[in-house]
Amino acid sequence: MKILVAVKRVIDYNVKIRVKPDHSDVDLTNVKMALNPFCEIAVEEAVRLKEKDVATEVVVVSIGPKAAQEQLRTALALGADRAIHVQTDERVESLAVAKLLAKVVEEEQPSLVLLGKQAIDTDNNQTGQMLAALSGLAQGTFASEVVVEVDKLQVTREIDGGLQTLELSLPAIVTTDLRLNEPRYAKLPDIMKAKKKPMDVKTPEEMGVETNTRVSLVKVESPAERKGGIKVGSVDELVDKLKNEAKVIS
């Protein structure tokens, strides 16, 4: 069974986001970038399925600038076998990402495609769903457990107030939630080995996929500064302030 995992290069989750002075976007100058955490979970799941001899090959794919090869190398160090880099310096919106991934799915014919449930930079939570629609494949989103059977897959999903289990026929698309697994750290020898693993580089034009943008980013604003708190001396004082100053209770 071949597994394809889509991974995105995003701003590291520990970094404090800075907005450009003209509010046109987030400022990425000299900012640490990383593998999107949900994509890391997707890679870990694929590698575990390979370790259990359920999967025979794990292929990772990323769409983005040349620097996205760093995140592909990380995925290779975590245990993926080979990488595909769709290189573009343009901002690629979800529909275009899904179209490019659909093309890779068509070429690679994986039995399972794993994606993160969302990329933490744009919080779109839609690429997996779009890919499932474009490829005509079954989808299981927000997976907290994945069990592969002969020609089907059981996916447990985290939904409001509980868990839902679905059975999908293969090939299928699954997006990963936080509790699916705890990703491993790449070991130094694996980081060295990853440098020699194959990486196929292509462009959207070579793939014949149009990536025109239909959505433009108008502006980005930082959240309002939090005002400093105060300490109250008693419950009575607190109630008084909530009633008469904050006016949140009557």
CA-to-CA separations, 106 to 32, 62, 165, 220, in angstroms, rounded: 33, 16, 27, 36
Least distance (Å) from ligand AMP to the CB of residue 129?
A: 8
Min dist. Cβ of residue 243 to ligand AMP (A):
42
Return the amino acid letter for 202: K
Query: Which positions from 46 through 85 interact with ligand AMP, judged by CB under 6 A?
Result: 62-64
148 belongs to the binding site for ligand AMP (CB under 6 A): no
**Residues touching ligand AMP: how many (CB under 6 A)?**
22
Q: Which of residues 83-122 bind ligand AMP (CB under 6 A)?
A: 92, 94, 97, 115-116, 118-119, 122
Give 1 or 61: the residue with its C-beta nearer to ligand AMP: 61
Closer to ligand AMP by Cβ: residue 119 or 250: 119
| Nearer of residues 202 and 226 to ligand AMP, judged by Cβ | 202
Binding string, 30-49, against ligand AMP, x = CB under 6 A? ------x-xx----------
Least distance (Å) from ligand AMP to the CB of residue 69? 12
Q: Which residue has the tokens 């939570």?
A: 125
7 versus 148: smaller Cβ distance to ligand AMP: 7
Q: How far is the CB of 169 from ligand AMP (least distance, A)?
A: 22
Which chain residues interact with ligand AMP by CB under 6 A? Answer: 6-8, 36, 38-39, 62-64, 92, 94, 97, 115-116, 118-119, 122, 124-128
